[in-house]
Structure 1
Amino acid sequence: MRYLRLLFVVVLAAVLIVVALANRQFVEVSLLPAGLDQWVPGDWSARMPLFLIILLAILAGMLLGVVWEWLRESSLRRQSAQRAHELQALEREVGSLRKTHHAPRDEVLAILDAPKPPAPATAATPATGPAAGPAALPAKS
């Protein structure tokens, strides 16, 4: 997958370079129509290479798409946050019910809630003397 992504980036870069080399001529870009130039002070036009205009238009379209999707998904984000808040409240309630409720527990829940036993010692970790075995435990009094 990594190589596929790298190949895509290389092909995209090659296409953008070819487009830039094919459209190097300068063009006049006006931000206001010709009739409005006399009413608005300042110079609202610029000369720039055509490939720069193409790349800026692509970038503006991508940015507009990101903002559009962010606005469209705002209700989903709000719903997700609300459900996460409800889930936390329910988890707190279940935890408090487990502590206060003394009825016999379900066997499955007892197995899931039981502490895990310690991992057995492997052959890679040798015992450190006679105190490591069960025979070295103190006798019960």
Structure 2
Amino acid sequence: MRAIRLFFFVILAAVLMLLAAANRDLVTISLLPQALAPFAGGQWSLTMPAFVALFLAMVFGVLVGLVWEWLREAHIRAESSRRAHDLAQLQREVGDLRRTHAAPRDDVLAILDESARKSAATPTASGATLPAPR
């Protein structure tokens, strides 16, 4: 996988270098139309090599795409956060129920359970078929 990634980056670097070498001519990028430039207080233009303008346009497109996706997925992140909060609350409730269930019960019930365990553990006399006392 690492070799494939390295190969991809080498090919991408070679293509970008060829693109830069082929587009070295200067271009003027105007940020406002010529008719609106006097109202804005001057010339709003930049002169740069064509490959720089192309690379800046690509970077700008990637940034716009990232922001667009971040805004589009905001409701998904909010839902995930809400579900994580609900999950944490349910886990706390389950822990409380486990502690409550494992806690000692009423003393009378504990004595009855203990006597029932003892009577079940003691062997009955040979031939005795009487029911256990209540």
Structure 1-normalised TM-score? 0.70
Query: Aligned letter for 1:33?
Result: P
Q: Secondary structure at the match of 2:61?
A: helix
Task: Give the percent of matched residue pairs that are identical in Structure 1 and Structure 2.
Answer: 53
How far, CA to CA, are the matches of 1:36 and 1:43 in structure 2? Answer: 9
- 1:36-115 to structure 2, matched below 5 A, reads 36-102=36-102
TM-superposition CA deviations, 1:39-74 (whole Å, max 9, x none): 111331111000000000000000011001000111
How far, CA to CA, are the matches of 2:79 and 2:39 in structure 1? Answer: 48
Superposed CA RMSD in Å reads: 1.2
Structure with larger Rg: 2
Q: Structure 1 regions of 5+ residues with no counterpart? A: 104-141
Higher helix share: 2
Distance apart, 1:95 and its partner CA: 0.4
Structure 2-normalised TM-score? 0.74
Give the corresponding residue for 1:24: 24
Distance apart, 1:102 and its partner CA: 3.9
How far, CA to CA, are the matches of 1:85 and 1:2 in structure 2? Answer: 38
Distance apart, 1:101 and its partner CA: 1.2
Query: Aligned letter for 1:101?
Result: H
- Greater displacement, 58-67 / 36-45: 36-45
TM-superposition CA deviations, 1:60-108 (whole Å, max 9, x none): 00001100100011110000000000000000000010000149xxxxx
